[in-house]
Amino acid sequence: MNYGLIIAFLVLVVIQWVVNGKIIWDKSEVLKKGQPYKFKTEPVDPTNPFKGKYITLTFSESIFADTINRNLVSNDNIYLLLGIDQRGYAFVKNLSKQEPKNDKAYVKATVYYTATDNDSISVHIRYPFDEFYMDEYKAPKAEIIYRESTRDTSNKTYALVKIWKGEGVIENVFINDIPIRELIK
């Protein structure tokens, strides 16, 4: 019997468990320790046979008008410094190519694309948290409720995202301050 092959297989199995466990641990730490931010959403909601059932979220706060030419291009990593407006929603105060040292209110994102307009540059942002996963049996109903609510501009739709050390995890999606999981019951 080839013991080297068995040991290699066991090491591979352990590595897979450790990597997946680390990802789960990191996300749960963000949910426990992160500061909550409400990001206003806009409609979009596909399904993916490989990823499962989810709601794709597009955020209203996805364009940053920048007056400084930072030579940003698509897929550049950026750090968004966040604030909360008077209505309680998150907004981008500033962006940086370097990770902030002392500010907890930031999230790592990527540049979707940039557009130049007179004296400013519009930076279109791709957030790392734009998919809200749900139970596959509840997701279709949630998709319909979410799509209909985002079409009605009188509804308040937003994602509650926990932010901690540059990471963001969606805790829940709300429609008129009611969690979407409650609306599908």
Q: What's the CA gap between 94 and 85, in Å, rounded?
A: 14
Task: Tell me what pLDDT residue 72 has.
Answer: 85
Task: Tell me what pLDDT residue 48 has.
Answer: 59
For the chain, percent helix, then strand, then coil, each to nearest 5? 25, 45, 30
pTM, full prediction: 0.72
Instruction: Say if strands 106-117 and 167-175 run parallel, antiparallel, or are unpaired.
Output: unpaired
- pLDDT by 10s per residue, the chain, length 185: 688 888 888 888 888 998 888 888 888 887 888 878 777 776 554 555 556 667 778 888 888 888 776 788 889 999 999 999 999 999 999 888 888 887 678 999 999 988 887 777 888 999 988 888 777 777 778 878 887 887 788 888 899 999 988 888 888 889 899 998 888 87
> Residue 32 corresponds to which tokens in the numbers above?
């426990």
Closest listed residue to residue 111, CA positions, set 70, 158, 171, 57: 70
Question: Could you state, in order of their start, the residue ranges of all structural domains in the chain?
Answer: 34-183
Q: What's the CA gap between 128 and 77, in Å, rounded?
A: 11
